[in-house]
Amino acid sequence: MTDDNKTPTSYTYEHSGVSIAAGNALVKAIGPLAKSTARPGADADLGGFGGFFDLKAAGYKDPLLVAGNDGVGTKVKLAIDHDRHDRIGEDLVAMCVNDLIVQGAEPLFFLDYFATGKLENGVAERVVAGIAEGCKLAGCALIGGETAEMPGMYAAGDYDLAGFCVGAVERGEQLTGDRVAEGDVLLGLASSGVHSNGYSLVRRLAADKGWKLDRPALFDADRLLIDYLIEPTRIYVKTLLPFIRAGRIHALAHITGGGLLENVPRVLPAHLHARIDAGAWEQSRLMAFLQAQGNIEPEEMARTFNCGVGMVLAVAADEAEQLAKDLTEAGETVYTIGAIEAGQRGCTVFGADEVWSAREAWTATHNA
Sequence-ordered list of residues with C-beta below 8 angstroms from that of 4, at least 6 positions apart, any chain: none
Give the pLDDT score at 149.
93
Distance in angstroms (rounded) separating the CA atoms of residues 260 and 253: 9
CA 90 to mean position of chain CA atoms: 8
Give the pLDDT score at 21.
74
pLDDT at 358 over 70: yes
Q: What is the mean pLDDT of residues 38-67?
A: 87
Q: What are phi and psi of 181, to 5 degrees?
A: -135, 155
The strand pair at 141-149 and 63-70 is best described as unpaired
Order of strands across the sheet with 63-70?
63-70, 159-170, 106-116, 141-149
CA atoms within 13 A on the CB side of 83: 2
What's the whole-number average pLDDT of the chain? 94
Q: What is the sign, positive or negative, of the torsion defined by CA atoms of 263, 264, 267, 270?
A: negative
Distance in angstroms (rounded) separating the CA atoms of residues 310 and 265: 15
pLDDT at 132 over 60: yes
Closest CA to 114 of 72, 83, 84: 72
Q: Is the pTM of this model over 0.95?
A: no
CA 194 to mean position of chain CA atoms: 10
pLDDT band at 44 (very low <50, low <70, confident <90, very high): low
The residue type of 316 is: A
Q: What is the pLDDT of residues 264-304, one digit of tens each?
A: 999 999 999 999 999 999 999 999 999 999 999 999 999 99
pLDDT at 263 over 50: yes
Give the pLDDT score at 1.
47
Give the pLDDT score at 47.
64
Determine what percent of the chain is predicted with pLDDT higher than 70. Answer: 97
Distance in angstroms (rounded) separating the CA atoms of residues 312 and 251: 8
Q: What is the mean pLDDT of residues 9-18?
A: 74
pLDDT band at 161 (very low <50, low <70, confident <90, very high): very high
- What is the distance in angstroms between the CA of the first residue and the CA of the last residue of the chain? 61
Distance in angstroms (rounded) separating the CA atoms of residues 112 and 130: 11
Long-range CB pairs of 294-300 (<8 Å, 24+ gap) are 294/201, 294/205, 298/349, 298/351, 298/355, 298/356, 298/357, 298/358, 298/362, 298/364, 299/349, 299/362, 299/364
Q: What is the mean pLDDT of residues 47-57?
A: 85
Between CA 99 and CA 315, with CA 321 as vertex, the angle to 5 degrees is 40
